[in-house]
Structure formats: structure tokens, C-alpha cells
Amino acid sequence: MKNLLCTIILFVSILSCGQESSPEKDWTRIFIEEFGSFDLPPTMEIQNGLAKKMTEKYDLIMELPASNIIAQQKGLNKDMTIRGAKGKGGEKYARIILTTILGEAWTKLYCQDSPFREADLISGNSDVKKQFAANLKSNNFKIVEWFPLKFVKLNNMCALHISYVRSGHKSDVKVDEYQIFNNDRTHQLILSYRVNEKSIWDADFKKLLNSIKITNVR
């Protein structure tokens, strides 16, 4: 009987360890082929319809890689028109953009140490800032504040963190870009929201970052 009880306890423990935690109440787990998943808060939605068509047209003009997935403030899909957002869907601003860019084999997803020396980050900081400033200028935006490049571990995954504040139509916008290294590809995750709406988005974006799971480990 004692041996049987130990076996049952061990079996239940194995099952518990193997089960994934469920998303928070009212959150949605988004599964992406060739990537993995992340949890989306109830205040956001996956971009589709006219909003998605306008984004794809913008990407083509700007010669940007086609985005795998974009999430935005809830209600924008319904309220988007050819002249911009109407109604409550356009009152706030938040974006989550996830793109995967293929390249040469480089750094493993779960690397032990930073692939960058401190000197590399310092010297590269100026070049990256100039590149971003030029891209923003072409769309009539400018950098308001720039933060130094950082190598970070995002759920133990190796990433380069690029962070800055840019000008916007109604308020400055905080942007955090994470370039997650996965051997022969980089998963580019961009989170942005209006600075004056930080109290609405910041906590949820931190939870979203903690929910990211990459299953396509190269």
C-alpha cells in the first residue's frame, strides 16, 4: 500500500510539472506557427480587416519585413476607416508587433553569456540610434529620449533590448524592442504605447513579456 501511494504521488507530480499554466482570467493565449505563444490582455485584439491592410501597405512602402502578427488596442478593428480611426477604438494607442527575420546561424536561444562585449554595446549604441532616427524621420517622427542598448534575459532567452521615446500625434510614445536570438533567426518583438497612458498598458505588457514561450528552438 505504501509503495502504491508513493507511485500515485509521483505520477501526480509528473503531471503537474508537465502541464502548462493557463492564461489569466479574460486573457487569450495566442499560438503562432514556427514561433510559440504569448498571452494577450483583454484590452487588446489581433489586428485584421482594414487596419491590417493599411499596415501591410505601410510595410511595403517602408520596405519593412512583413509582420507575422500585430495586436492593438481593442476596438480599433471595428472603428478603423480609410481616413483613420473613428470612435472609441482610436482614443488610445498600443501596439504589439512580432516579426521573425531569418539570417545566418549565430547565438542560441538559451545562451549562457552575452554575445556582446560591453564595448560593442557602447560603440553600437550610436549607430543603432542614428538608424532608428532616420527611419522615424522618414515618417515625420523623431526620437525624444534614447536609452542605452542592453543585453537582457527574457524568460532565460537571450535578447537585445532597444528602448526609446518617440514623438507621436497625440502624445509621445514609449517603444521597447526585444530582438530575441534563436540561432538562424531573430524574433523581433516591439511593444509601444503613449507615455500618458502608461498606467493602462505598462503592467499588462510586463505580464505579456513573462508569458512568451518559444517552442521552435533552433
Residue 18, pLDDT > 50, answer no
- The verdict on residue 9 lying in a domain is no
* pLDDT confidence tier of residue 144, bands split at 50, 70 and 90: very high
Q: Give the rounded percent of residues in the chain with a pLDDT score beyond 70.
A: 77
Each residue's pLDDT tens digit, 28-44: 998 888 889 999 999 99
What is the DSSP-derived secondary structure letter of residue 139? T
Distance CA 143, CA 99 (A): 22
CATH number, domain of 31, equals 3.40.1000.10
Task: Say if residue 17 is exposed, middle or buried (CB neighbours under 10 Å; 0-12, 13-18, 19+).
Answer: exposed
Q: Specify the amino acid at residue 191.
A: L
- pLDDT-based confidence at 167, cuts 50/70/90? very high
Q: How confident is the model at residue 11 (pLDDT cuts 50, 70, 90)?
A: very low
- Quick one: pLDDT at residue 196? 95
What are the backbone dihedrals phi and psi of residue 71, each rounded to the nearest 5 degrees, phi first?
-120, 150
**Tens-place pLDDT, residues 182-210:** 999 999 999 999 999 999 999 999 999 99
**pTM for the complete prediction?**
0.80
Residue 191 lies in a domain: yes
Predicted local confidence at residue 20, as pLDDT: 64
Determine, yes or no, domain membership for 195.
Answer: yes
The tally of domains found in the chain comes to 1
Give tens-digit pLDDT for 74-127.
888 776 554 555 656 668 899 999 999 998 888 899 988 888 888 889 889 999
pLDDT range class, residue 14, cuts 50, 70, 90: very low
Question: What's the whole-number mean pLDDT along residues 9-18?
Answer: 36
**pLDDT score recorded for residue 197:** 96
Considering only 19-23, 61-65, 72-76, 120-124, which range has the smallest mean pLDDT?
61-65
**Which spans in the chain are helix H?**
2-18, 49-62, 76-79, 118-137, 198-211
Quote the CA–CA distance of 46 and 70 in Å, as a whole number. 6
Give the whole-angstrom CA distance, residue 13 versus residue 21: 14
Whether 13 is in a domain gets the answer: no
% of residues, the chain, pLDDT over 90: 49
* Residue 145 domain-assigned (yes or no): yes
Is 7 within a domain?
no
The answer to the question of residue 15 being in a domain is no
Range of the domain at 124: 24-214
Residue 8 in any domain: the answer is no
